[in-house]
Amino acid sequence: MQYLRDLASARELLANLTLRDIRGQYKRTILGRLWSLVSPLSSMLVYSFVFYFLLRATPDPGDPSGLHIFAVWLLCGLLPWSFFSGALSASMNSIVGGASLITKVYFPRVVLPISSVLTMGYNWLFEMGVLVIVLCAVGGWGVILWLPLVAVFMVVLAAFATGVGLILAIANVYFRDTQHLVSILLQIWMYLTPIIYPPSLVQVQSDRIGGLFGTNVTVMNIYESNPMFHFVSVFRNLMYDQRWPDPADVLACIAWALVALVGGFLMFTRKEKRLAEIL
């Protein structure tokens, strides 16, 4: 409880660190905040060419929105993933990057990874705002009605990213190989998430293979154990389909966020006392 009071008293420091990172992120650049759109847009072009034009991975039309534009469908899953992967990388490196500050003065160390997630969240708000404009431009005006729920699940995903980021931030202090390993795992994780291809492709193969090793467990069962599977599904349902998401996906997202946040916070508070010594 005392730690929570210390964290609440450090809210001004948290705000200042976040504002510093936001202001310095694109300082002295011509395009400024527009640079945050370059990575997802370039990825969208490459993935659209490879998976839509070459491999013909065509998702079903939005139900009930009727939208049938691969690039827009792709962005509805790609932007949440870009935020998540960026937040993990930033928060993982926040403690090592803030070593000079940690060794000089005491403050709740958890402020550093949280400020990293908030900085990425600010960029994500800008990107999602552009996506909403694009959806409206192509006839998906119904997304406006779902924006409050989109905002709620943005917070839920941010909580999940924060929890995982806290664990990785501690691991990266003790084992510097963590940052290199995580960059590889994030690439694998992305391709194991239905971002650039519809999950129906996995379902078809799962039905063909059947139960694994003589059990009732299928490839699809394992595939759906991926927490980002549920987050991407929820954002696609809300923004592309423009309908209420599957309750199972909603519960899975909330459960993963709570487990990650509580687990990450407990691990971080237990290990943070030795951070200055190890750094």
DSSP 197: S
Q: Residue 73 carries which side chain, given as an amino acid letter?
A: W
Tokens of 28: 């002295």
Residues in Cβ contact with 102 at an 8 Å cutoff, skipping those fewer than 6 apart: 95, 109, 112, 275, 276, 279
Least Cα distance to 74 among 192, 236, 227 occurs for 236
pLDDT of residue 247: 96
Dihedral angle at the C-alpha atoms of 174, 180, 181, 187, nearest 10 degrees? 150
pTM more than 0.85:
yes
For the chain, counts of helices (H) and of strands (E): 14, 0
Q: Is the peptide bond between 64 and the residue preceding it cis, with omega within 30 degrees of 0?
A: yes
Dihedral angle at the C-alpha atoms of 47, 230, 72, 82, nearest 10 degrees? -60
pLDDT of residue 30: 64
pLDDT of residue 254: 98
pLDDT per residue as tens, the chain (279 positions): 556 676 777 788 888 888 888 887 777 766 666 777 787 888 888 888 888 887 787 888 999 999 999 999 999 999 999 999 999 999 999 999 888 888 877 788 899 999 999 999 999 998 999 999 999 999 899 999 999 999 999 999 999 999 999 999 999 998 888 999 999 999 999 999 999 999 999 999 999 999 888 888 999 999 999 999 999 999 999 999 999 999 999 999 999 999 999 999 999 988 888 777 776
Burial 195-206 (b: 16+ CB within 10 A, else e): bbbbbeebeeeb
CA distance 191 to 180: 18
